[in-house]
A and B are shown apart, each in its own frame.
Chain A
Amino acid sequence: MTRTCQEIAAYSERLYYDLEFGSCKAWKEDGGGHCVGYMPVYAPREVIHAAGAMPVGIVGAGDWLEVIRGDAYYQSYLCHIPRSTVDLAVTGRLEFLDGMLFPSTCDVIRNLSGMWQMLRPETYSRYVDVPQNFDPEIGGRFWEHELRELARELGEVTGTEVTDARLRASIKLFDENRAVVNEMYALRRDQPHRAPTSEVYLVLRAGNVVDVETHTALVREYIDTAKATDRPDMDNSRVVIVGTFCEQPPLGLIKSIERSGCFVVDDDMLLVSRWFTADPAPDGDPFGALARAFVDHTVPTAVMYSPTSGRGKALVERVRRARAEGVIFAAPSFCVPALLDQPMLVAELDREGIPYTAFKYSENTGQFGPIREQTGTFADTMKLWSAA
């Protein structure tokens, strides 16, 4: 029996709304063993997988959890994702996790790693300090050591030693996953009416809570179905969304942008799934290969240092590649990396004459009216410009 795009999206949406992480628990009970959570923006999922654990992407609780206790830990001028994440933890919803990784995304996530040590002292957690020095001999070496330490510790948690062979196999699985995700993005770029972002996002997001092979198959199924399904094309404006790499926009917001007349043809949501711009070397030492891929092939994003002022140019490049007409800066309120990055990106877009618009959201934003208004006007304006 084959599923329609809508059915695949509906399945993914059930996963999306499941704050009890039923899919992960089921996987554990089926003999899968362990689950290790990770927060945005980047975590070496290959290493988690090689230790016999399912990497589980934790990105807050969206707009369907009333955050009470989590709010008690955070002042009003901090973003929302740590509140809902802490809420998930203190309400016991993350008990199934055997470990938790906190990548060096920003000071809020960094400090959350320390809070975790105090809130959940009984479970394994680690701060993942990615290198900001991209010299293979300096940052690369440091990172390789970090990866080995992580592997050793995860091995102790799961009882499965991360051998070179296992890691190599895991890298291959994630390479395949990344390839199929990139293919889905390419499909959306080329035929956005066949692969609306409200669906693509849900299918992508399912990768947070199912194992990598299942996810690869899911994305494949979606691509094949979407290609085979006729849907009416629309005269929408093509936009790239920037700033959504950590705290996720609510689904309603994504839908609002689309309904206001935009095709989202590229974005930076859940970047971990497309982190490497080229695969790690398939042979040789797999730790070295992963480390090298990181220093050589990391996707440009606000949380990574840019040794040259190249990130604005990289955005322009992305816009061109996606044949987009404009950029929507959608940053979570109080998101330091996204908001501090924005003026530099804006300056480059100005130089290139690429139109943009900007707004802030939080994962539990309930009001889409003003945003719909704004992006709708933006879409219309771009149409006028391109017609002129």
Chain B
Amino acid sequence: MAPRRPDVDPTAAVKDRSMQRQKELIASYYDRLAAVPETGEKTVATFVPGNLTELLLSFDIVPILPEINALQSGMRQKSAGYINEAERMGHSEDVCTYVKCDVGMLAGGNIGPTGKILPAADMLLLSYTGCFTFMKWFELLREEYKCPTVFLQTPYQARGEVTPEMRQYMIEQLKKVVIPSLEQLTGKKFDIDRLREALTLSARAEDDLVAVLESAKHRPSPIDSYFGGVYYIGPIFTAFRGTQEGCDYYAMLRKEVEQRIADGRGPTTPEGDLEDERFRLVVEGPPNWTNFREFWKMFYDEGAVVVASTYTKVGGLYDRGFRHDPSDPLGTLADYCLGCYTNLSLPKRVELLSDYVNEYEADGFLINSVKSCASFSAGQLLILREVEERTGRAGGFIESDLVDPRYFSGANIKNRIESYLQMVDQKRSAGVTS
């Protein structure tokens, strides 16, 4: 394994203007959080899947996103210490490392990924979408923050459809539980027009994001939809959905990507543009954050480009048509929560992955199975088999973790990725000759 310097920014070598802008946005978000003691802004901790950013913004609330904090801590090599601390406090080795990273960070003074102290949450908005652990996570945080906790249950799309009753249940909770709690927290009256404005901006950014994601249908693909993708989704998955800044970022990104297509350029990597697209892959599962660049390198060194990924859909399946709709503010929030990737049934996930493989003309698909996340992982071996069967394309399987470096075995993963790509290559050339 290459030696890692602890404070190297993973985006350091990436030169695109949009990348720079993305970094600024995320940095400004953390600055805003750090300034809360001075500005007195209200904060609400919540989760990325099923987040209600527009609603929070309409109350001038700043969201705190523990998942993002954990992944940022992972990228900045701080997670191992936090996890250690949490385990020392009695948390099991078996459970989600995002939770332990968060708990450990809090125990160590709540110093955020950028080195500044994060504010305590004034409220926990438990957007319970697609992940059981969320519930326990905020029950645990509630013990620390001693602040009000608002529960929003998103029914599971077990049969791959949203029933009117599921939607109604969500709307009822929004109306009778979530909004009154936010009103009480901020002392402000719910302003549906402000919500509509934000939703309008959301939809605009979503259009541009979809154009960016679908640009990967070109050959060569101008983007990497997984390793690059996690940067692209950054703003819209965090505090910038429904903001003008978010809109501007996605418009800029879209232009850049269109220019790449015009120039016939491949995706950007930490070592410059990828020039030789040898493999087009679909990837299922979250990435590993502690060794993100090492992991990425295993792909681009082999000329492998991820043309579609499911991880970039945990905060919304915009490419399947969903847009925030200002004409039905609460209904659209309900639809949004219900439609996040991890809230889909396994047969739906198989269908989506198979569609991606076909639509993006992928050579194969790879599952990064993450120890922390049963919502993703449980059943992935069946998904693997089913997608192979449906697409006739080879599937690969690797295992790692989100932010626990102990579960990233570089040599092992590299061996599997190499074996997998060589198999794809061999199959491909056998298909041509026979």
Contact = CB atoms under 8 A, between A and B. Distances in A.
**Is A–B contact present in the complex under a CB 8 A cutoff?**
yes
A133 B89 CA distance: 30
Contact of A129 (B91, B155, B348, B381): B155
11 contacts: A73-B379, A75-B369, A106-B374, A107-B132, A107-B374, A111-B379, A113-B158, A142-B172, A339-B92, A339-B95, A340-B91
B318 interface: no
Given A107-B131, A108-B374, A118-B347, A129 B158 contact: yes
B94 A360 contact: yes
Interface in A331-352: 331, 333-337, 339-344, 346-347
A104 B132 CA distance: 9
A333 B94 contact: yes
B173 A133 contact: yes
B133 A336 contact: yes
Contact of B95 (A73, A102, A127, A340): A340
Contacts of B176: 135, 137-138
A334 B94 contact: yes
A347 B168 CA distance: 38
Q: How large is the interface on A (under 10, 10 to 19, 20 to 34, 35 or more residues)?
A: 35 or more
Given A118-B350, A135-B176, A138-B173, A110 B156 contact: yes
A26 interface: no
Interface stretch (A272-280, A301-309, A318-326): A301-309
Interface of A: 72-75, 77-78, 82, 102, 104, 106-108, 110-115, 117-119, 126-127, 129, 131-133, 135, 137-139, 141-142, 145-146, 302, 305-307, 309, 331, 333-337, 339-344, 346-347, 360
Contact of B169 (A108, A142, A307, A333): A142
B81 to A, nearest CB: 19
Interface string B291-324: 0000000000000000000000000000000000
Contact of A309 (B142, B155, B165): B142
Given A114-B347, A336-B374, A119 B382 contact: yes
A132 B152 CA distance: 9
A346 B89 CA distance: 11
A340 B381 CA distance: 25
Contacts of A139: 153, 169
A336 B377 contact: no
B41 interface: no
A305 B135 contact: yes
B139 interface: yes
A340 to B, nearest CB: 4
Interface string B175-199: 0110000000000000000000000
Q: How large is the interface on B (under 10, 10 to 19, 20 to 34, 35 or more residues)?
A: 35 or more
Interface string B84-112: 00000111101110010000000000000
Interface in B342-371: 345-350, 369, 371
B375 A132 contact: no
A73 B153 CA distance: 29
A115 B165 contact: no
B165 A142 contact: yes
Interface string B128-159: 10011101110110110000010101011011
Interface of B: 89-92, 94-96, 99, 126, 128, 131-133, 135-137, 139-140, 142-143, 149, 151, 153, 155-156, 158-159, 165, 168-169, 172-173, 176-177, 345-350, 369, 371, 374-375, 377-382, 386, 399
Given A133-B153, A340-B137, A72 B381 contact: yes
B345 A117 contact: yes
Contacts of B94: 77, 333-336, 339, 360
B346 A115 contact: yes
A110 B376 CA distance: 11
The CB with the most chain B CB atoms within 10 A, among A73, A74, A104, A343, is that of A343
Contacts of B371: 75, 77
Contacts of A112: 378-379
A73 B149 CA distance: 36
Contact of A347 (B143, B173, B381): B143
A138 B128 contact: no
Contacts of A74: 378, 381
Given A77-B94, A343-B89, A343-B91, A111 B346 contact: yes
4 nearest A-B residue pairs (beta carbon): A114-B346, A127-B158, A340-B136, A111-B378
Contacts of B133: 107, 336, 340
Contact of A111 (B168, B369, B375): B375
Contacts of A307: 149, 151
A132 B151 contact: yes
Contact of B158 (A77, A126, A340): A126
Contacts of A72: 381
A306 B140 CA distance: 11
Contacts of B99: 340
A343 B128 CA distance: 21
Contact of A114 (B177, B374, B379, B399): B379
The CB with the most chain A CB atoms within 10 A, among B89, B168, B346, B386, is that of B346
Given A117-B346, A305-B139, A133 B151 contact: yes
Contacts of A142: 155, 165, 168-169, 172
Given A138-B172, A141-B169, A339-B95, 4 more contacts: A73-B379, A104-B156, A112-B379, A115-B382
Contacts of B149: 307
